[in-house]
Amino acid sequence: MADEAEQLYIKGADNVLTGLELFDRERLHFEAVFSWLSLKADESSAALLTSLVSAVYHTGLTLRFHPLQRSQWLKAQRKAATITNNREREGFALNGLGTAYVDLGDVRKAIEFYEMALVLYRECGDNRGECSTVGNIGVAYKELGNWPSAIEYYVQQLRIASEIGDRRSIGNAFANIGNALFHMGELGNAIQFHEKALVILRETGDRHGEGAVLGNLGVAYGSADEARKAIEVLECALAMDREIGDRRNEGTTIGNIGNAFFLSGDLRKALDCYEQQLLIARELADRSSEGRALLNSAIVFDQMDDRAQAICRAEAALLVLEAIEAPSANEVRNTLVKWRSHHPA
């Protein structure tokens, strides 16, 4: 049943919602089976457990599970894969654990898991697994603000995806490269890569990827001083996030809509968006998004001449950003020094 839901999701387009509806309907059964198998240590049960976890990759691990539940399932899969000596499934578990730890804000630990997964995938000759993992390592370096390393891994992802003819991974690689170019100040090239990614992901019916790329395009348009166009594209991304129940991307997109409202001068709407983003980020333990929401709301409060509240939010943001080694932490420290000098306690 889990595999049926997953295969429907992979077909794309309207099948995505059908697959997710099936997963949601049967989720309690999947979780009960997982709990039952987790208590066993025989090879047959271990093989079933590794298959179950892999069968909920998109529907459960990516879109429905909290990162803590995700890590629980993947740690159990890793243990079961060692019992059955299934190196590919062990690589799958390690790769997934890396993503769970990125989402929980422990990027250094995530990279350790990714590196272990990469070794296993290369030993097994699993090109698809290798392609996924190098892309994920790029995302981890992005979180640390190391854009040269990020783009190096994204280029590897694109090369492998092209060699094996994986259109969905090609689209994801284009989107990742677009993000890197955007943060390196190459706005025009970034938009071109996002537009190429959007064509491919729509062609493959990848609704999750399409929503993410629309969000990236919206951010790029906002940086190009096209706030109205940015909001329009981001609203489309938000509708797609909500349609498939992608709470993590929903929170990010709402925050980006807030940025567009801020650029247009509508501080009240911007602040409302940041408050919504903050609630979702804390619900999902999304530390990176929590830090961004706190920092952006601090900037809005400062613009509203509420320096005391701005300092309070910035201090909270700094705690989060320091914990996850976000590159923006130093900027927040400097801002706090300036604000405190004009607002003595």
How many C-beta atoms lie closer than 10 Å to residue 32's C-beta? 10
| The last residue of a domain, from among 125, 146, 162 | 125
Using CA atoms, how far apart are residues 63 and 54, in angstroms rounded to an integer?
14
Kindly list the distances between the CA atom of residue 29 and the CA atoms of 1, 22, 35, 204, 323, in Å, as whole numbers in the listed order: 10, 11, 10, 30, 37
Cα 171 to Cα 173: distance, rounded to the nearest angstrom:
5
Query: What pLDDT score was predicted for residue 80?
Result: 97
Provide the pLDDT confidence category of residue 182 given band limits of 50, 70 and 90. very high
Which residues have a Cβ under 8 Å from the Cβ of 30 and sit 6 or more positions away? 1, 2, 23, 52, 56, 60
User: Comparing 5-9, 51-55, 225-229, which segment has the lowest mean pLDDT?
Assistant: 225-229
Residue that finishes a domain, picked among 205, 237, 263: 205
Question: Which domain-ending residue is among 67, 96, 125?
Answer: 125
Check whether residue 236 and residue 307 sit in a common domain.
no
CB 60 within 8 A of CB 27: yes
Given a cut of 80, whether residue 275 has pLDDT beyond it is: yes
State whether 78 and 176 are in the same domain: no
Backbone angles phi, psi at 56, to 5 degrees: -115, 30
**pLDDT on residue 344:** 59
What CATH code is carried by the domain that includes residue 60?
A: 1.25.40
Same domain flag for 83 and 187: no
- ∠ Cα 199 223 169 (to 5°): 30
Angle, to 10 degrees, between the axis of helix 87-103 and the axis of helix 43-55? 50
Helix (H) or strand (E) holding 211: helix 207-223
Q: What is the pLDDT of residues 127-153, one digit of tens each?
A: 999 999 999 999 999 999 999 999 999
Query: Which pair of tokens denotes residue 26?
Result: 């049967």
- Residue 280 makes CB contacts below 8 A (sequence gap 6+) with 247, 248, 250, 251, 254, 286, 289
Residue 342: per-residue pLDDT: 74
Q: Total structural domains in the chain?
A: 4
Residues 121 and 194 in one domain: no
Q: Are residues 53 and 144 in the same domain?
A: no
* Claim to verify: residue 121 and residue 35 sit in the same structural domain: yes
Q: What is the arithmetic mean of pLDDT over 53-64?
A: 96
Per-residue pLDDT of 331-344, as tens digits, reads: 999 999 999 987 65
Helices 87-103 & 67-84 angle (0-180, nearest 10): 160
Task: Give the structural domain span for 83.
Answer: 1-125
Rounded Cα–Cα distance for residues 253 and 248 (Å): 9
